[in-house]
Each structure stands twice: as C-alpha cells, then as structure tokens.
Structure 1
C-alpha cells in the first residue's frame, strides 16, 4: 500500500501558497467609520485600540486611504450631540448621519459603496434600537415607521446600502416598501439577519456613546438557539434583502457557514468590537503574534462563507495585502 503524504504540499511556503484556496482581497473588507458631532479632532475609543471617533472633516482622509488601499465599501455610524426618546435626529435630513453620508458620497462618487447604519440606538436617550411603549418596552411596529423615515433621508443623502441592524420583526420588508414608494428602488438593504445578543459589544457602545441601560435580549437573537439565525436570514431574503449579515462573526462561524449554504445572495459577517479587542489585548500582552493571528481570523471568516468581512482591521490589512 502506498503511504499518503499530505505533508508534501506543506513543505515550503511557495508550495503552501500554490495550493491555498482561501484568499483575502482588499475588496472583501468593509471598513466601519464612526463620526461624532461636535468633535474638533479625532478621539480614541475606550476598549478599541487604534479605532477613532472622527470629526466631520477627518473621516474624509480615512475614505481616501481606504480607497487607495483597494477597499470598496465603508459603513458609517454617527454620534449626535442631542438625543431624545424617539431618536428624532436619525430622521432629519440635516442630522449628523445624513450629513456624513452626503459628504462621503460627494467625496468618493461611485468609487466606493457607502453604507449607512439604519438603527435608532445611537440617537435615542434610552439607548434602545427602537421607540418605547407606555410600559418601557420596545414597540416593534411603531419603530418600523421611524426606520422607514430614516431610510428615506439616508437614501436622499446618497447611501448605496442601508444596514438594517435594529432586529425588529418585518424591518426589511417595511424599509424595502418605503424606499420603493419614495422612488429609491436602487438603494439596497444589507440586512442584519442573524444578529445575536452578544456579550462582546461593549467597546462598540463606547464608540457610539451608548445610553443603554439593561440589554437588547428581547429583539436580538438568543445564542442558545441554533436555528433562529437561519430562520431570520431566510425571512429577510423573502422580504427583499440584497445582502445578509451574520454578527458577531467569530463566535458564530457555524451560523455563518449555514447561512452561506442556504442563501444565494451575498453574505457579510461583522467581526465585532469585543472580538477585535480580545485579539488586540492578547497581542499587546505577548500572548499571540498580532499580524498572523488577525490574518488567520480573517481567513477563517472567509472560509466559513463570508463574501464581505466588516472589520476594524480593514484598512490596515487592505494596505498589507496590497503590498
């Protein structure tokens, strides 16, 4: 019997490169960008080393760098000065997120895909992703009305895609109908189909100055249910999603793999703030080699089925991959 020797193809780096079949390209990476109203200079975000809240001017240089590195998509989150119970700033055409989207579109034209986060959590005084009813609970259907208004102003501002991240039932269908009725049938929806109530969102809440007290377990998915993410992704596809998102990425690679096998539309995955910070802290402590660990993580997410990887490492690694 001939002995099989798989190690033959691992013997040298050039052999390993020859047979590798999972590759990361700059265009696979989506860069999240935070812009805070009223800032006069960028500021560090607690828990997210190397990630900044930008001014309405400084984010333009990030766009330039991303474009030059081969990144083709950016997702914007905005932090307003004023918040209220209904997150009304989110639905204003002169609000911070609308201003940022309008300026980004004017700056890059069609050279980049401009994605706007469509959620109320950054804009509400209570920090929830929707409006509250008389009992202090998130009112699903009342929230959808606000989402449609927000979608319309962001489409008017020039967004290519809207990231429906609030996890309200029927949000994709409501936004799709609202956009079509308003004449924005060409604006797409990046649907957060499988978004879990994770313990790893903490640094992101610092990034958007979240006012949340309590949790979002009544609308984000329960990590103890294995099939719920698939069900919601399929619902979003039925309602008109153009791209579906799995979030978090690393802790839910099994869900990501299943989603990529069950859908025919593009699949995105978001390596979230706590997953990012975990690696950065470990690398700073000398526990892991930072660069090779990050590359392994990006490759794992791509291997599991992600067509698009939303990550705070996007710009750094796009520049490295392009060398």
Structure 2
C-alpha cells in the first residue's frame, strides 16, 4: 500500500468489543512514523458509518475498523467507492470478513497487518429492502445476508452470551431456529429471469464462502468475482439437516486438504449436493415473500421485510489484507 507523506489514520472502534488500552499501544507500536492518528468511538446511535464517512471527507489515508462484524460493515459501507482503504482489527464473535480474507484474529497481528499489508479491491453487496408499510430502505453487506435459520439465529442470540462464550453462543439459537420446516414462501428472481415461487427453510446470499470454522457454505463464492452466490435450503426433518451437514463437512475437509497441497489454493471440489440444497449465482437476486420475513445483513438484524433485492457492486471496497 502506498503511504503518502504525513498520512492521516482514523481508528473507528467499538468500545464494547475492544480493549482500548491494548489497541492504542499496538497502534503506537506499528503506525507509520509520520502518521496522524485520530480515534472515533462507535455508539448505539452511531455504529460506525458516520465516523468513517467523516474520516473520508476529512482526507483520511486509512480507516481502521476495530470491532465486530457490525462495525466492519458500517465502516465498509462508508469507505466503499472511495480510494481510502479499510483495515480490520477483528474483535467480535464471528469476524467473518477477516476470516474470509485471511486477516489475523489477534489484535497485535491485525494492527501490524493494517500498517504493513497490501490492499485488495473486493466487491460489496447492496440490499434494497421493502417493509410491510411500503417503506423502502437501502443498506449493504460484505459477507452474507439471509432469511430463515440465519436470521433466526441472529435474533435469538444475546450480546451478553456472545461476550461470554464467543461463537458457541450461536448454538442454542441455531437449534431453536432449525424447526418450522419449509415455511418461508418466496418468489425468487435471478438477474432478468421471471420469479420462481417456492417454499424453503433458509436462503443465504453472499460475497464470501466460509462460515466460522472454515465451513464453505458457498463454495464457489469469491469476494472479488463480481458475482452474488446463494444457497437455498429446504429441510423438513433431522435427516434432511444431516444430509446438509454431511455435505458441508465433506467440503470443509476437502478444502483443508487442498489448502495444504503445493500450488496455493486450487478450487475446492464440491461434495455431492443433496436435493435439500440448491445453489444460485448472478449479479442480482430478488426475494418477494408471502409474509414478512426477518432479514440479517452480516450479523445485523434488518427487521422483517416483505421483499429484498440484492445487487453486487464489483471492486468498490479497498481492504488491507
């Protein structure tokens, strides 16, 4: 990454997730010698977008997002489309974008990478959400969005439990969300194709492939290919979920083996896909629900929507990784 003379750096941090003293000491240790560092804490009313947007307007040369997936998402939305790179110091439960981009999860290593790494252009995803009242809102995400078990998990997981046990906090919420069968009635439109009406349990669309633990939920997804990848899950009972879990387990093992082979990271061969899973890919995906459904964007609840359209914005986010 090119470092200009007297670079300006803004650290947008979530005080509920980050040990500020440790973060300050690490930044002081690894920051460029002539850097001017400004600090901006997130709040409930200002979760990071306004702070990062102000930094870009004031001429920041680097914005560091220090916090969980919500903080990273807000900073990413603010800096996207600019030439200002975003660095990540992951301090949340999932840390999904950091994991998918190979960014260290330890604070010291992540801060060092923020000032010593190179930047990479990746895609960002836009979501246009329509609510029962007819109100429309726009937002975005960098990793994954979903309805069904995905959104139910987010809605049922308490922050206090996440702080105590980390990713294990999601386990009870997942188990509670697995019931209900294929109760989501939805019309799915891919690019310019006419909608197809179906019933499903969970629908996840993403820009990256892996869940926590390196599980490739969307094995063909790449953060910089200009394509949205999605998976539709139709599971009625324990046997259906076992088939889905088996497929993901096989893909995870194969991916780990491939990563150890010479020649880098070849494409992961995918295990046999059960009939309960359907993969989709395109530049625009629209979901129209028979009844409003809860939606999550990179782990943040977006409320219950009547419809949502996802678009990919290729090469709009510069990330130090």
TM-score normalized by structure 2? 0.26
User: TM (normalized to structure 1)?
Assistant: 0.26
Higher relative contact order (CA 8 A, sep 6+): 2
